[in-house]
Amino acid sequence: MNLADLNKVALAMVTPGKGILAADESSGTIKKRFDAIKVESTEENRRDYREMLFRSTEAMSKYVSGVILYDETIWQTARDGTPLIKLIEQSGAIPGIKVDEGTQALPQCPGELVTVGLDKLAERLKKYYERGARFAKWRAVIDIGSGIPTMTAISVNAHALARYAALCQAAQIVPIVEPEVLMDGDHDIDRCYDVTQSVLNKTFQELRLQRVELEGMVLKPNMAISGKKCAKQASVDEVAEKTVRMLKACVPAAVPGIAFLSGGQSDEEATAHLNAMNRIGGLPWKLTFSYGRALQAAPQKAWSGKAENIAAGQRAFTHRAKMNALASKGEWETGLEKKVA
3-state helix, strand, coil in the chain (%, to 5): 50, 15, 35
Peptide bond into 299 cis (omega under 30): no
Longest dimension (CA), the chain: 53
The size of the chain, in residues, is 341
In terms of DSSP bridges, do strands 113-115 and 103-105 run parallel, antiparallel, or are they unpaired?
Answer: antiparallel
- 178 a catalytic residue: yes
For residues 105 and 113, give the distance between their C-alpha atoms in angstroms, rounded to a whole number. Answer: 5
CA 73 to chain centre: 17
b or e along 97-131 (b: 16 or more beta carbons within 10 Å of the residue's beta carbon)?
bbbbbebeebeebeebbbbebbeebeebbeebbee
**Contacts of 208 by beta carbon, 8 Å cutoff, 6+ apart:** none
- 127 a catalytic residue: no
- The one catalytic residue among 98, 137, 202, 220: 220
How many other C-beta atoms are found inside a 10 Å radius of the C-beta of residue 138? 27
- The one catalytic residue among 178, 180, 206, 213: 178
Complete DSSP assignment for 213-266: -GGG-EE-PPPS---TT-SSPPPHHHHHHHHHHHHHHHS-TTS-EEEE--TT--
> Where in the sequence numbering do the catalytic residues fall?
178, 220
